[in-house]
Structure 1
């Protein structure tokens, strides 16, 4: 069989393999999301990172991922930081590592604050503690943080941030930054 005749077979086999792998990827993303936890601060030294890695114990959590390693990274809006167990990704082109909770993935930041002067051109995502400049850009002003759930409930005039457990913490999976003006507009309209 000539090499030209084998190409469609390899392409088809690769497509099938990717589809099978895609099923596992979907489950992996769900497993990653389950471990995500908003935290006030991330480790910025090797020792702090080692302690946090032992505390989170990602290696003990059942999952369908190829690897499951501790990460502490910014979220995609740069308004919070997450501890999460996830596969290690190679981050390229001097970007901060971010966690996209909606997709359940660790990735290079797509945010305008995502460029990192101290980051190398390529590094492993679980080494983001070595580049604290990314954490320094996080804005945690509670008045500037809103959630899409508030927008969805906006039309009723009632903003409910309760979860099914009865707590009043926002659903961090749908966080987004809005200006104070937008925040007060929502608040004013909900009174009317």
Structure 2
């Protein structure tokens, strides 16, 4: 049953991934923008306008961060790589991938479909999420995936990506439904497979018992045949003795 243990571990890992710690406060601060800051100066100006510091203590009370200074401004790509957004979120360290904000997990994550270490210039193998502006090629990914029709600014209150390309409020719910559906399908398949194995095992056991019974019956039959044959020989021998005695008496 080693494969059953592997399946169980995989299912638990997937469940823990979905239910892992997030910060719903960050989701409430998401604001789509046409572009992100290109340098440290414009980043600080945008951060001042966003004023994430006003929510920092609240984020601590909700368990999003331990230190208020860790709940800060970010301007990153979204998880689908088709929009840029501003958000107040806890800082995280990235490992060779572009920074994104995953609205389903409600947190800053690495986008594994955007390896910035391969860009020119490349990002380092480890960097903090608030340094996202240093790696503009991550933002350029959005330009190749969407059509933007607005002046480039560091701050805007409206989304500039086509509406049908923007993530909707239903997308997180739909993702959970898909994941739960897939998990249920896997469980059903697993249960059916277990039932088939059990039925097959029972049939094998019945077949073994039947063969055993037949074998015992054949053994008993052989012993009976030997006993019957022995009795017949004895009776035949007894008949010969009687005839011999009668012959002797006749001579007398």
CA displacement, residues 78-121 of structure 1 (integer Å, 9 cap, x when unaligned): 100110011100001x210011011101011122xx11122110
| Over 6 Å off, 4+ runs | none
Unaligned runs of 5+ in 2: 1-18, 148-160, 173-252
Question: 2: distance between equivalents of 1:48 and 1:172?
Answer: 30
Give TM-score scaled by structure 1 length: 0.59
- Name the structure 2 match of 1:57: 51
- Name the structure 2 match of 1:33: 27
Alignment RMSD: 2.4
Cα distance change of structure 1 residues 30 and 143 upon mapping to structure 2, 3 Å threshold: closer
Q: Going by fraction, where is strand more abundant, 1 or 2? A: 1
Larger radius of gyration: 2
Deviation at 1:140? 2.1
Question: 2: distance between equivalents of 1:143 and 1:56?
Answer: 24
On the 8 A contact 1:76/1:110 being kept in 2, the answer is no
Unaligned runs of 5+ in 1: 1-21, 148-169, 176-192
Match of 2:74, SS? strand
Question: 2: distance between equivalents of 1:72 and 1:88?
Answer: 12
Deviation at 1:30? 0.7
Give TM-score scaled by structure 2 length: 0.46
Aligned length: 126
Cα distance change of structure 1 residues 50 and 173 upon mapping to structure 2, 3 Å threshold: farther
Q: Going by fraction, where is helix more abundant, 1 or 2? A: 2
Cα distance change of structure 1 residues 173 and 130 upon mapping to structure 2, 3 Å threshold: farther
CA displacement, residues 34-91 of structure 1 (integer Å, 9 cap, x when unaligned): 1111111100100010000100010112323212111000011110011001110000
On the 8 A contact 2:79/2:101 being kept in 1, the answer is yes
Question: 2: distance between equivalents of 1:101 and 1:53?
Answer: 20
